[in-house]
Amino acid sequence: MIFIRSLFYNLFMGSSAVLFSIPVALVAPFPSGKRLGHWLARQWVIWQFFVLRHVCRLDYQIRGLENIPKLNAISYWKHQSTWETMLQLLIFPAQSWVIKHELFWLPVIGQAIYALEPIAIDRKSGHTAVKQVLEMGQQRLSAGLWVMIFPEGTRMPPGTTRRYGLSGALLAEKTGRPIVPVAHNAGDFWKRNAFMKYPGTVQVRIGRPVYATGRKPEQVNAEIQNWIEAQMRQISPGYAGTRLGRDTKKN
């Protein structure tokens, strides 16, 4: 039964993504087109969670919504699956995501992603990627958008983490905007690149804003990562928190 439910959802997700991507891309050049594009993307996410809840029996609970400041800022997210990339649109206002530029190559969907003004980087370019996040991140924040970052740089299997990239902390220090951390255990139910979507309730924890002004980016990242990993040990059964290596100059 889980296989049948997952099959239905995967077909629905793929077809609806294409269906919604077309108007998002088409309205982008017009006045208020980007605002309408964000609204359309949000409607798509609402449908995704409706089908996940009623077909796959996969729901979620959020704690800490009161920690989201009114002024747009930066958000660090635990990255385990595709699930959290959708939830971002549902619980945060209009936003720009730091993503890998290869997503633009997706037929139709890539055009819609481009229209929503993400910060697309080449994760292998090191300092160039950091510079892109700093320059474009300031532009997005000035335009009233949130900047959404997966500081681990890629989707991590449950129970693992990596050293955080420095670009988000550098952006926070340069702009004076705080970083809002988000932990969740979506990977327990929807694993990386997995076909199967298992029933359950994803626990989402939103932390208090962390300010970077006058602090080293490594210190800021350490504080946020420690908080996120502490939350993971509470909400994810058997969470080990194994650290995998990475180059902090990337992303």
Q: Is this model's pTM higher than 0.85 or not?
A: yes
Q: At what angle do helices 2-27 and 33-54 cross, to 10 degrees?
A: 170
CA angle 68, 73, 74 (to 5 degrees): 95
The angle, 0 to 180 degrees and rounded to 10, between the axes of the packed helices 167-175 and 217-235 is 120
3-class DSSP assignment, residue 179: strand
Question: In the prediction, which pLDDT does 87 show?
Answer: 98
The pLDDT score that the predictor gives to residue 243 is 81
Per-residue pLDDT tens for 53-79?
999 999 999 999 999 999 999 999 999
Contacts of 32 (CB under 8 A, 6+ apart): none
**Domains defined for the chain, CATH in brackets:** 59-244 (3.40.1130.10)
Phi and psi for 67 in degrees, rounded to 5? -85, -5
List the chain residues with pLDDT less than 70.
245-251
